[in-house]
Amino acid sequence: MLKSFLPCTVFLLGIGAAYNSSAQTPQTPSDCKTGCTSNDVQIMRAYLVDSATLQPLSAGYQCRGSVKVRLALDLTTNTPRVGVVVYANIKFLVNGTPGNILANKKECFGTVLNRPSNQVVFSGAFTWSCGTPIALTNVFMGWGTGNTDFCQGLSAFRCPGTPSKCWSQIDGNYITIEIPMAQNVSRSLCPDTAGRTTATFNLTALNGEVSNNASNVTVTWYRDSGLLSPVGTPAAYSTVSTTAYAKVTSSTNTSAYSKAAVTLTVLAGPALSITNPTALCSPATADLTAAVTSGSTLPTGTSLSYWTNSGATASMTTPTAAGDGTYYIKASTNTTPACSDIRSVVVTVRTTPVLSITNPNAVCSPSTVDLTAAAVTSGSTLPSGSTLSYWTNSAATSSLSSPTAVGAGTYYIKASTGTTPSCSDIEAVTVSVYSNPSAPALCAVQPSMCGPATGTLTVTSPVGSTYQYSIDNGQHWQTGVTFSNVAPGSNPSIVAKDGSGCVSAAANCSDAVTCTTTARLAPPTARAEKRAPAEATPEDAVTVKVYPNPFRNSVNFRFTAPVSGSVSLEVYDNTGRRVSATSYGSISAGATRELHYSPRQKIGALLFYRLRIGSMTASGKMVQSE
């Protein structure tokens, strides 16, 4: 049995046949006399063409289901001729054996056969199921003599010009008709590794596509168009961009095959180069959209996206303000398929110390304050490894030499971490050192043989509602300025304390002057008592109206303050003993006030008073009648 192999030249054998003449018009070769001895005209190739365009159904023809086609032959001849008649049956090939007839073809072609390859196309179309192997059987060709048109302008079947000018195919032999079992396709993949140019293609996944999903074919893969270098592992073909070739072979006739070119393209994929941003101090954040990807290879059309996980399923809402942590940047192309690369980026945000400053309690001079005491920075947030430093300016350029002993002023404490970069916070701390009151100025009423048996010390400065005084070195304090019944020879010391709690240096009797009212405190004569004045003008020019005077149960003191200050009233008996000391708060200069004094008991004698208004004093006498 002779077969033709696509796309090889068909092998033809001529056989002898008897020539039978017939009076009627011949319809088949059997109507002609046999005796074919010439092989002058041969079939080089049998194939299908589109019934409308007459274009060959090439390997890349998109065939779906069935299609209307025509049979085409490429003929060759040893001697130029005009016209040839062809008769043949088109049969299905089943396991390499011709089966049922698909179509019968017979036609006379008035074609000039004078080239190495001469095409003739049968006029009648037939329906062919895509991918179905078919073959020519019972082939008969005849021709005439000379250069005249053998067909005489007619296409109907006719017998050859002489019994010998023909060729008849041996029964059982066939010529394979080329069919378009394969179609060209293309595939694109991303590189296996970002930045590389190779990808792994699964060529076997393309078998159905290159074979038009034919069920009766096998597909083998080659590196070259000559189908000489097979692909070793078609299911995992690792390559750069190239063209592979699929050989689609009929399962029923291995000599019938077609070839498809498969364009394999390795797309240009992105290759991210990540530079972690420089470490920051809180509350600063990092911008991941800036120079982080500098140096990356990003093909045109690549876009960047930002994620909190490596699977790129949790998007990052603010990539321009990333806090401490690990994030992921994904570069994706706009190709099909989209190629991508995803890389991690680490953002380091150091914890910045947060100082909470409590100004130390004020102290009295010459005491100092220790700024390193824990209470000053209590409540601060200091990361592990933080250190404190002390400065005289907010820029921390002038260090504080003795932070454990500072005087009054504003200083600065700086908390710094030991990280890179060093994160810090600097805050001001205020130290208050109050000046101590000056040592009290005293006036004394000395005990005497003819006068009082004990002495009196009166503080004349500093005075006011904010001051307290002590005669026993601070064991007891009083707001009154007079200390009575001081024993002779005791030489006591008096200290003053202001509202800030600062205590003055001590003053004693040796520092005292004689009270200016001492002479006025001498007991008056009986006659003088009867004519005690209603007013007194003290040495400090404070005018006081005392009334009624003499009085029985109470007496009034009316005055206009020449200065602002505290108001107090002291009353003494005729022995110089203080019987009353009362503070009346403070008064503003120019204000008028009236004080009321009622003795706890009726003394019925001459009394003396001392009225203090700020730094000024008025004194006088009054008589309590029985």
Evaluate if residue 402 carries a pLDDT over 80. Answer: yes
* Per-residue confidence (pLDDT) for residue 449, from 0 to 100: 67
Identify the sign of the CA torsion 545, 551, 556, 561: positive
Residue 582 corresponds to which tokens in the numbers above?
């009362």
* Per-residue confidence (pLDDT) for residue 535, from 0 to 100: 40
State CA 283 to chain mean position distance: 14
pLDDT band at 7 (very low <50, low <70, confident <90, very high): very low
* Per-residue confidence (pLDDT) for residue 517, from 0 to 100: 44
Q: What is d(CA 461, CA 447) in angstroms, rounded to the nearest whole number?
A: 22
Assign 205 to helix, strand or coil: helix
Q: Which amino acid belongs to residue 344? A: S
CA dihedral 392, 397, 398, 400 (to 10 degrees): 60
Q: What is d(CA 171, CA 106) in angstroms, rounded to the nearest whole number?
A: 17
* Per-residue confidence (pLDDT) for residue 422, from 0 to 100: 96
Question: In this structure, what are the phi and psi dihedrals at residue 238, rounded to the nearest 5 degrees?
Answer: -90, 125
Evaluate if residue 107 carries a pLDDT over 90. Answer: yes
Evaluate if residue 526 carries a pLDDT over 90. Answer: no
Evaluate if residue 595 carries a pLDDT over 60. Answer: yes
* Per-residue confidence (pLDDT) for residue 524, from 0 to 100: 41
Looking at residue 95, the DSSP 8-state letter turns out to be T
Evaluate if residue 235 carries a pLDDT over 60. Answer: yes
Reported as a single tens digit per residue, the pLDDT across 420-463 is 999 999 999 999 999 999 999 988 888 876 667 788 899 988 98
Q: Could you tell me which of 540, 562, 548, 550 has the C-alpha nearest to residue 610?
A: 540
Q: What is d(CA 330, CA 341) in angstroms, rounded to the nearest whole number?
A: 6
Contact between 392 and 408 under an 8 Å Cβ cutoff? The reply is: no
| 232 Cβ neighbours under 8 A, 6+ residues apart | none
Question: In this structure, what are the phi and psi dihedrals at residue 433, rounded to the nearest 5 degrees?
Answer: -125, 115
For the chain, percent of residues with pLDDT exceeding 70: 88
Alpha-carbon separation of residue 322 from 274, 326, 383 (angstroms): 15, 9, 21
Would strands 81-94 and 97-113 be described as parallel, antiparallel, or unpaired?
antiparallel
Q: Which amino acid belongs to residue 397? A: T
Evaluate if residue 481 carries a pLDDT over 70. Answer: yes
C-beta neighbour count of 248 within 10 angstroms = 25
* Per-residue confidence (pLDDT) for residue 487, from 0 to 100: 86
Q: Which amino acid belongs to residue 500? A: S
CATH number of 441-514: 2.60.40
366 against 19, higher pLDDT: 366
Least confident of 30-39, 278-287, 392-401, 555-564: 30-39
pLDDT band at 528 (very low <50, low <70, confident <90, very high): very low
Reported as a single tens digit per residue, the pLDDT across 366-397 is 999 999 999 999 999 999 999 999 999 999 99
* Per-residue confidence (pLDDT) for residue 597, from 0 to 100: 86
Measured distance between the N- and C-terminal CA atoms of the chain, rounded to whole angstroms? 173
Q: Which residues pair with 410 in a beta bridge?
A: 430
* Per-residue confidence (pLDDT) for residue 554, from 0 to 100: 87
Least confident of 62-66, 156-160, 194-198: 62-66
State CA 389 to chain mean position distance: 34
Evaluate if residue 296 carries a pLDDT over 50. Answer: yes
* Per-residue confidence (pLDDT) for residue 489, from 0 to 100: 80
pLDDT band at 603 (very low <50, low <70, confident <90, very high): low
Q: Classify domain 41-176 at the CATH topology level.
A: Immunoglobulin-like (2.60.40)
Least confident of 118-122, 408-412, 416-420, 576-580: 576-580
Evaluate if residue 534 carries a pLDDT over 60. Answer: no
Evaluate if residue 520 carries a pLDDT over 70. Answer: no
* Per-residue confidence (pLDDT) for residue 253, from 0 to 100: 62
Evaluate if residue 552 carries a pLDDT over 90. Answer: no
CATH number of 544-623: 2.60.40.10
Contact between 266 and 197 under an 8 Å Cβ cutoff? The reply is: yes
By CB atoms closer than 10 A (0-12, 13-18, 19+), residue 374 is exposed
CATH number of 185-266: 2.60.40
* Per-residue confidence (pLDDT) for residue 72, from 0 to 100: 95
- 3-state DSSP percent of the chain in helix, strand and coil, to 5: 5, 40, 55
* Per-residue confidence (pLDDT) for residue 268, from 0 to 100: 94
Looking at residue 300, the DSSP 8-state letter turns out to be T
Alpha-carbon separation of residue 307 from 328, 347, 511 (angstroms): 5, 13, 85
Least confident of 121-135, 221-235, 262-276, 444-458: 444-458
Reported as a single tens digit per residue, the pLDDT across 174-218 is 998 888 767 788 999 999 999 899 999 999 999 988 887 776 789
C-beta neighbour count of 148 within 10 angstroms = 11
Q: What is d(CA 479, CA 477) in angstroms, rounded to the nearest whole number?
A: 7
Per-residue burial over 23-49, b = 16 or more CB atoms within 10 Å of its CB, e = otherwise: eeebeebeebbbbbebebbbbbbbbbb
* Per-residue confidence (pLDDT) for residue 9, from 0 to 100: 33
Half-sphere exposure (Cβ direction) of 413: Cα atoms closer than 13 Å: 27
Q: Which amino acid belongs to residue 543? A: T
* Per-residue confidence (pLDDT) for residue 178, from 0 to 100: 84
Alpha-carbon separation of residue 554 from 221, 427, 557, 595 (angstroms): 134, 62, 10, 10
Reported as a single tens digit per residue, the pLDDT across 303-359 is 999 999 999 999 999 999 999 999 999 999 999 999 999 999 999 999 999 999 999
Q: What is d(CA 246, CA 203) in angstroms, rounded to the nearest whole number?
A: 9
pLDDT band at 20 (very low <50, low <70, confident <90, very high): very low
Residue 152 corresponds to which tokens in the numbers above?
């005489």
- Whole-number mean pLDDT of the chain? 86
Which phi-psi region, left, alpha or beta, contains residue 7 (left: φ > 0; alpha: ψ -120 to 50)?
Answer: alpha
